[in-house]
Structure 1
Amino acid sequence: MARITESNVGLTPFQRLLGHNIEVMEGWTHLGEVLEKDGLLSSELKEQVRRTLAQSNGCEYCKAKGKPEHEKFDEKISLAVGFAEVFLKQKGDLPDSAFNISRGCFSESEMSELCAFIAFTTASQYYGAMMKLEPGKKIERAYT
């Protein structure tokens, strides 16, 4: 059970916890939607990174969506997941070598997107962990 009562605003348990402040929930949700979709990096690459981060960031809700699917890994996904693993181990204090290794596969724009995705996803997963958000069914009610 979450540490606070869910609001009546939002489609998912995560959104309903944020829904106590509609403006925050809407902004958070919008940024999440922008970062999760295909951009310079594929949504599949980002999903494998999200799954990797979820295993260490303490949110049971996020972990329940599954572990990384290694059969879907290609060179780019492998490097992105490896970069995320270094981020986790170094608590965000990435060495220059992590960026140098990635330069052969990612442009600077792609690295910017990857880092933004990792930072936002980690913040989301920390929020879920702080709130003790547990896996549950999706609420089929639009926020108003």
Structure 2
Amino acid sequence: MARITKSKFGRTSFTKLLGHNLEIMTAWSELADILENDSKLSKNLKEQVRRTLAQNNGCTYCKAKGKPDTILQDEKTSVAVGFAIVFQNHHKGDVPDSSFAILKEYFTEAEISELCAFICFTTAQQYFGAMMKLEAEL
């Protein structure tokens, strides 16, 4: 059971926890919609990154949406997932320059910016879910 009751506002269990503060819920949801959909990076690539992050970020709600694919379809997705793992294994985002050097071989600067923003935002979402003890929906 979540640590606080769900509000009547929001579309998902996650947004209903944010729904106690409509401005936060609205802004958070708008940014989530922008970051999660196709942009410089594909929605599928970002979903694999999200699933990878979820395995270690402690949110059972996020984990329940599935594990990352064991066989990734393309190199860019593999590199992005690998970078997400490196991010999680370094204290406070202190990612080595060598990891960014690898990113630069596969991604434009705009794509790297989007990937890093997505990783940070997704981590924040998953930490919020873990902090609130948001459970998986069955």
TM-score, normalised to structure 2, is 0.97
Alpha-carbon separation, structure 2, partners of 1:93 and 1:66: 27
Name 1:93's counterpart in structure 2. 94
Name 1:67's counterpart in structure 2. 67
Kindly report which structure 2 residues correspond to 1:61-140, keeping only aligned pairs within 5 A, or say none.
Answer: 61-91=61-91, 92-136=93-137
Alpha-carbon separation, structure 2, partners of 1:67 and 1:73: 15
Contact kept in structure 1, 2:72 and 2:78, CA below 8 Å = no
Task: Give secondary structure in 2 for the equivalent of 1:103.
Answer: helix
Alpha-carbon separation, structure 2, partners of 1:85 and 1:72: 15
Aligned Cα root-mean-square deviation (Å): 0.8
Which of the pair is proportionally richer in helix? 2
| Unpaired segments ≥5 residues, structure 2 | none
Per-residue deviation, 1:74: 1.1
Per-residue deviation, 1:76: 0.3
**Corresponding residue pairs, total:** 137
Identify which of structures 1 and 2 has the higher relative contact order when contacts are C-alpha pairs closer than 8 Å and 6+ apart: 1
Alpha-carbon separation, structure 2, partners of 1:17 and 1:55: 21
Alpha-carbon separation, structure 2, partners of 1:40 and 1:11: 26
Per-residue deviation, 1:73: 3.2
Kindly report which structure 2 residues correspond to 1:14-93, keeping only aligned pairs within 5 A, or say none.
Answer: 14-91=14-91, 92-93=93-94
Moved over 3 A (4+): none
Task: Give secondary structure in 2 for the equivalent of 1:8.
Answer: coil
Letter matched to residue 14 of structure 2: F
Alpha-carbon separation, structure 1, partners of 2:74 and 2:90: 24
Per-residue deviation, 1:41: 0.3
Alpha-carbon separation, structure 1, partners of 2:123 and 2:85: 12
Identity of aligned residues (%): 63
Per-residue deviation, 1:7: 0.5
